[in-house]
Amino acid sequence: MEKLKNLDKIVMLCKNRGIIFPGSEIYGGMGNTWDYGPVGVELKNNIKRAWWKRFVQESPTTYGVDAAILMNSRVWDASGHTASFSDPKMDCKNCKTRHRADNLISAHSKGKENPDAMSNEEMEAYIQAHHVCCPNCGKCDWTPIRQFNLMFETSRGVTDGDTNKIYLRPETAQGEFVNFLNIQRSMRAKVPFGIAQVGKAFRNEITPGNFIFRTIEFEQMEHQQFCKEGDDHKFYEEYKQKAFNFLLDLGIKKENLRFKDHDKLAHYAKAACDIQYNYPIGWDELNGIHNRSNYDLSRHQEYSGKSMEYTDPYTNEKYIPNVVEYSIGADRLTLVVLCDAYDEETLENGETRVVMHFHPAIAPFKVAILPLQKNLSEKAKEVYSSLSKDFMCDYDEAGSIGKRYRRQDEIGTPFCVTIDFDTLENDTVTIRYRDTMKQERIAIEKLAEFIKEKIKF
């Protein structure tokens, strides 16, 4: 209960401090959509940048791509999404609301039952036997389960109809698979190598979103490792570890993370697991790692008619590479970062300080420039304009210095720089640390180097 209260507090803080707002709010909102404000967009961009740095910039054998969101609809036939990217849905005959059968069972059994391991018939039987009722109206009168495809459809060109039907991509991964040959040839890449992408994906989710945990429009950060069969297990283990270490390095507490193997594997998959996080709503998925055999490239070969074979330059052996996929939602990770960083401290004077302990590398603002009084603003703006060439800086001259510090604590700014009358005399400032609230004096000319050192990732 206490933890759920924290999620409400985080949602409020996000709204009040320009981190995340409800989508289309002045029109009454739109379910499962959220807008990132001036502070939140910095946080999410920094998270995406940290991921790209770790998985593309620092990997000599990974290539980045930014593929189109709208793809030839045959892509989704090949990937299996048109046929089976669906959730088991039931309608309440009384109030006409639609629900996911697996979620109804999880909620009713308080997570003790595992609907992922059940067939539709078994789920229907469970719901009937345990009188699982509609969370909206309380009646137990359900339609049979139907599979509901999660892809958003749209149409291309002037005439409507099935031939013009296209989809908003439900995952970024296919943009990596369809560019396998382009990237291999243009970059003279040798298997094993990786292709990574960060971009939007869309799913027609009807389940309540729990803030940005589940949204209908979200960003994914995905990495496909192409390798020879036999090496796939090694890469699967390697990416499990890399994915976990990335989270630890971002400052996520180890006790809030765990691996969870999938109970049901797709017929082509050799292994699959999630890293779960202990959210205020309980343990749930943060990211997935998947050993997918050569299913993806084989299917694209079959549907496109283009050979996806790779020829080993040393042995001349020809084969369709296997894929180990690592996929994490940028918004899901932003939620994890927010939950993990949120803290309420009781100060010596009895007041409560809300503070976001973000890793400095992903903090929205690295430094806030605060003139002690308004008549020091000229000097403060000088400092701001010099530091803002290197870092996102905030500038605030309104209100008491104590309140300004609190505001920066709430958006996780790791350093506050106060300009006072001594600054005019000797070009030094006070730097205040967010986490310890300690303060020390530092020369203005040393500030940039000092901050650069502290925000390394």
Output the 3-class SS for 407-441. Answer: HHHHCCCCEEEEECHHHHHHCEEEEEECCCCCEEE
Among 44, 54, 203, 300, binds ligand GAP (CB under 6 A): 203
CB of 444 to ligand GAP, least distance (A): 42
Q: Would you say how long the chain is, in residues?
A: 457
Q: Is 327 in the site for ligand GAP (CB under 6 A)?
A: yes
CB of 229 to ligand GAP, least distance (A): 20
- Residue by residue, DSSP assigns 249-274 as HTT--GGGEEEEE-SS--TT-SEEEE
Distance separating alpha carbons of residues 197 and 175, to the nearest angstrom: 8
Measured from the CB atom, the residue of 48 and 366 that comes closer to ligand GAP is 48
Which tokens sit at 41? Answer: 């967009």
Distance separating alpha carbons of residues 218 and 212, to the nearest angstrom: 9
Distance separating alpha carbons of residues 328 and 441, to the nearest angstrom: 41
Distances 391 to 9, 162, 382, 396, 449 between C-alpha atoms, Å: 29, 50, 14, 16, 11
CB of 351 to ligand GAP, least distance (A): 36
Q: Is 102 in the site for ligand GAP (CB under 6 A)?
A: no
Site track 135-174 with ligand GAP (rule: CB under 6 A), x = hit = ------------------------------------x-x-
Backbone angles phi, psi at 133, to 5 degrees: -105, 170
Nearest alpha carbon to residue 423 among 453, 378, 393? 378
Q: Is 214 in the site for ligand GAP (CB under 6 A)?
A: yes
Distances 149 to 64, 82, 101, 125 between C-alpha atoms, Å: 29, 8, 14, 23
How many residues bind to ligand GAP according to rule CB under 6 A?
19
Among 79, 106, 184, 215, binds ligand GAP (CB under 6 A): 215
Which tokens sit at 318? Answer: 């020809």
Measured from the CB atom, the residue of 81 and 366 that comes closer to ligand GAP is 81
Q: Is 175 in the site for ligand GAP (CB under 6 A)?
A: no
Q: Which stretch binds ligand GAP (CB under 6 A): 1-9, 285-293, 341-349, 414-422?
A: 285-293
Among 231, 238, 285, 390, binds ligand GAP (CB under 6 A): 285
Q: Is 222 in the site for ligand GAP (CB under 6 A)?
A: yes
Q: Is 40 in the site for ligand GAP (CB under 6 A)?
A: no
Among 175, 199, 321, 329, binds ligand GAP (CB under 6 A): 329
> How are beta strands 367-371 and 342-346 bridged, if at all?
unpaired
Q: Which stretch binds ligand GAP (CB under 6 A): 56-64, 324-332, 350-358, 430-438?
A: 324-332
CB of 75 to ligand GAP, least distance (A): 13
Residue ranges binding ligand GAP (CB under 6 A): 171, 173, 203, 205, 214-215, 218, 220, 222, 285-288, 325, 327-329, 331-332
